[in-house]
Structure 1
């Protein structure tokens, strides 16, 4: 089956739907009209630019350029994690924790999937490595950002309870155990909901794209199952690492709660 090519004027027609929505938002005085239009413009510009970059990267196919592309994606994802928190750790901790967590989880799961499961030749083939890493980073970023935001807000809200438990002789782990579990649950809920609804309520994006490009539905389903499982693993491990490191940072060596290490975004 041949893929139907889309022209720019056809994309402009689709953009009119967003413009119409923005007009309704303005009329309803929801206060997010500018953000909606700005996000739509960023989507168009960013995806267009990344399209040119990926075409050049696919043509070169060298591991150095693939690694540099992955590093750039990781750093941008780390910045987004920090930007999405209402309260973030001072200094470079807010950026470092999210970036390190995604590096350990998303990168390791991506490399493992490429080498052991998919097995392209070479294993770092950008056609497989970059899309897979991008999907893992995007979803892991969301999970970590939600978890860290829930953790920082929970500690601030339950400050007296946490400090009371510390005064009763509990360790910092015991004093904030429930808050840590709640933060981890918040980070995992998006991917859990996505897996529960996949195929029944929604057709995931990768599967839909493959089917539209002419891939057999059975093969598209296999790839989508693989992606969902790897995203779940990357998000889960990344969330666990981020919450563990961030919660430890909120207490000093004497196991005192240090909310002064948080600052408003």
Structure 2
């Protein structure tokens, strides 16, 4: 079985379904038509550029270019984390945490997959490393963003209780324990839900893509299971790092709650 290539006409036919979203926006006066058009165009341009870049990098098969592209992906992820925060700790440390947690978690999971699980030759083969790193980074990004938001929101909501615990001698980690545990649960819930519903409610994207490309369903399922395990692990690492880092950013060395560091609403 081989995959069926798509031409521009096929993509244009698929794009016709976007008209339904436009009609819904107009009918309910949502005002999303412009956003829908811009988002669709941006998605097409981004995917086209990424596809061309990956084609070149796959041909070069050079670890330096692979690493540079991974860093570019991380920079884009850092911007997304930074822009999604309703309120964040002012300064560059928030940006460093938002980028560092997903990057390190994604790097660890990708290296583990490439060196231990899959074992391509060479181990840094961009055809394997970059797609896996992208999936790890994207999911870790989502978890990190949720945790950072939950930490700032929880610290504001429970300010009185947190300061009371500190006044009674609790350390900053003890005082923010409830907020931290709730934030970690929030950050992990999407991947836990995805793992629980995969295969029953919906076929995941990677498995669907491999099947459409001609891979046997059993082999596609094996790869999907591996990816979900890796995603769960990398997301867990990123979520914990983001949560613990948030505790440090929201307090000082004297274990005082420092909500004055948050950007204004």
CA distance in 1, matches of 2:22, 2:261: 39
CA distance in 2, matches of 1:35, 1:139: 24
The 5 Å alignment of 1:148-159 reads 148-159=148-159
- Name the residue aligned to 1:63: 63
- Name the residue aligned to 1:249: 249
CA distance in 1, matches of 2:45, 2:127: 21
CA distance in 2, matches of 1:245, 1:210: 37
Two-structure CA RMSD over aligned residues (Å): 1.2
> What is the CA-CA distance between 1:20 and the residue it aligns to?
2.3
Q: What SS is found at the alignment partner of 1:87?
A: coil
Per-residue deviation, residues 107-156 of structure 1 (Å, max 9, x unmatched) = 01101110010000000001100100000001110011011111111111
Per-residue deviation, residues 166-186 of structure 1 (Å, max 9, x unmatched) = 122222111110100011111
TM-score, scaled relative to structure 1: 0.97
The 5 Å alignment of 1:88-127 reads 88-127=88-127
CA distance in 1, matches of 2:97, 2:216: 40
> What is the CA-CA distance between 1:23 and the residue it aligns to?
2.3
- Name the residue aligned to 1:16: 16
CA distance in 1, matches of 2:249, 2:259: 10
CA distance in 2, matches of 1:196, 1:33: 34
Q: What SS is found at the alignment partner of 1:124?
A: coil
CA distance in 2, matches of 1:263, 1:31: 29
> What is the CA-CA distance between 1:160 and the residue it aligns to?
1.5
Could you say if the C-alpha distance between residues 264 and 47 of structure 1 is closer, same or farther in structure 2, counting changes exceeding 3 Å? farther
Aligned length: 265
The 5 Å alignment of 1:23-172 reads 23-172=23-172
> What is the CA-CA distance between 1:103 and the residue it aligns to?
2.2
Would you say the 8 A contact 1:19–1:37 is kept in 2? no
The 5 Å alignment of 1:210-249 reads 210-249=210-249
Would you say the 8 A contact 1:106–1:234 is kept in 2? yes
Q: What SS is found at the alignment partner of 2:88?
A: strand
TM-score, scaled relative to structure 2: 0.97
CA distance in 1, matches of 2:27, 2:46: 28
CA distance in 2, matches of 1:198, 1:264: 40
Gaps of 5+ in 1: none
Would you say the 8 A contact 1:3–1:213 is kept in 2? yes
Would you say the 8 A contact 1:195–1:228 is kept in 2? yes
CA distance in 2, matches of 1:168, 1:35: 50
- Name the residue aligned to 2:208: 208
CA distance in 1, matches of 2:199, 2:101: 30
> What is the CA-CA distance between 1:251 and the residue it aligns to?
0.6
Q: What SS is found at the alignment partner of 1:120?
A: coil
CA distance in 2, matches of 1:264, 1:11: 44
Could you say if the C-alpha distance between residues 31 and 93 of structure 1 is closer, same or farther in structure 2, counting changes exceeding 3 Å? farther
Would you say the 8 A contact 1:86–1:264 is kept in 2? no
CA distance in 1, matches of 2:133, 2:124: 11
